[in-house]
Amino acid sequence: MVAGRYLIVNADDFGQSRGVNRGIIQAREQGIVTSASLMVRWPAAAEAAGYALAHPRLSVGLHLDLGEWACQQGAWSPVYEVVPLDDATQIAAEAARQLAAFRGLLGREPSHLDSHQHAHLGDAARPVIIEIAERLGVPLRRCSPRVRYCGSFYGQTPQGSPLPDVLCPQGLLRILNDLPPAVTELGCHPGLDNDLQTMYGAERAHEVEVLCDPQVRTALPAMGIELCSFHDTALFGG
């Protein structure tokens, strides 16, 4: 067990759009974001990679994109599907393609692995992606004992209803105050311009505001929380 509270603030969807890139960059430069996960299939991926190359202290992982789903009237339906989530062979091939694209963009391995809408946790995908993470020697979200995951900083219920009490400085501070002694990854989805067709749109700009709020950063030392990133592998035995 780590003696202390260490916090990785990881922004998902880096590269999905220019607005998302702008939000993540602002939340890093003016806020508490320390890490990001890159979606290599999207048009703004090269722009995101260029920023990462110019700012090597930002740890960047691979945000595997196997599809996206939206909840409408209580039922989930696909927005798009990259591969069937019940086909391990196709999942493995697609993961290999996206990993190769990541290496092509950044010239290095990802610092960590996760996936869009946690698709890697499905029955067929999970063992495939665990094997890749173990081969790379990097943490995989919700599957690595070295880094616990907190997904509470999200402005909607699983069904898409708004949670305004979460996306405010007080809401984030409540989440942080409850963190145990450990290395914790706090997931977030900052973005600007609302330039994606997604059920999680306007909330992204609110995340930027909260992540950049001065009282949040000021509160961290008083809580005994130290910001870090996936580059700090000594903290979790990497």
Confirm if 36 and 188 have CB atoms less than 8 A apart: no
Tell me the residue range of the domain where 55 lies.
5-236
Q: What is the pTM of this model?
A: 0.96
- Which CATH number belongs to the domain containing residue 153 in this structure? 3.20.20.370
**According to the 3-state scheme, what is the secondary structure of 163-182?**
CCCCCCHHHHHHHHHCCCCE
Residue 75, strand partner residues? 72
Residue 76, strand partner residues? 71
Total structural domains in the chain? Answer: 1
Task: Dig out the tokens for 223 from the structure.
Answer: 């809580």
d(CA 209, CA 156): 16
- Could you report how far apart the first and last alpha carbons of the chain are, in Å? 14
Task: Dig out the tokens for 175 from the structure.
Answer: 């989440």
Per-residue pLDDT of the chain (238 residues; tens, 9 = 90+): 567 999 999 999 999 999 999 999 999 999 999 999 999 999 999 999 999 999 999 999 999 999 999 887 778 889 999 999 999 999 999 999 999 999 999 999 999 999 999 999 999 999 999 999 999 999 999 999 999 999 999 999 988 889 999 999 999 999 999 999 999 999 999 999 999 989 899 999 999 999 999 999 999 999 999 999 999 977 766 5
- Dump strand ranges (E) for 39-110: 59-64, 67-72, 75-81
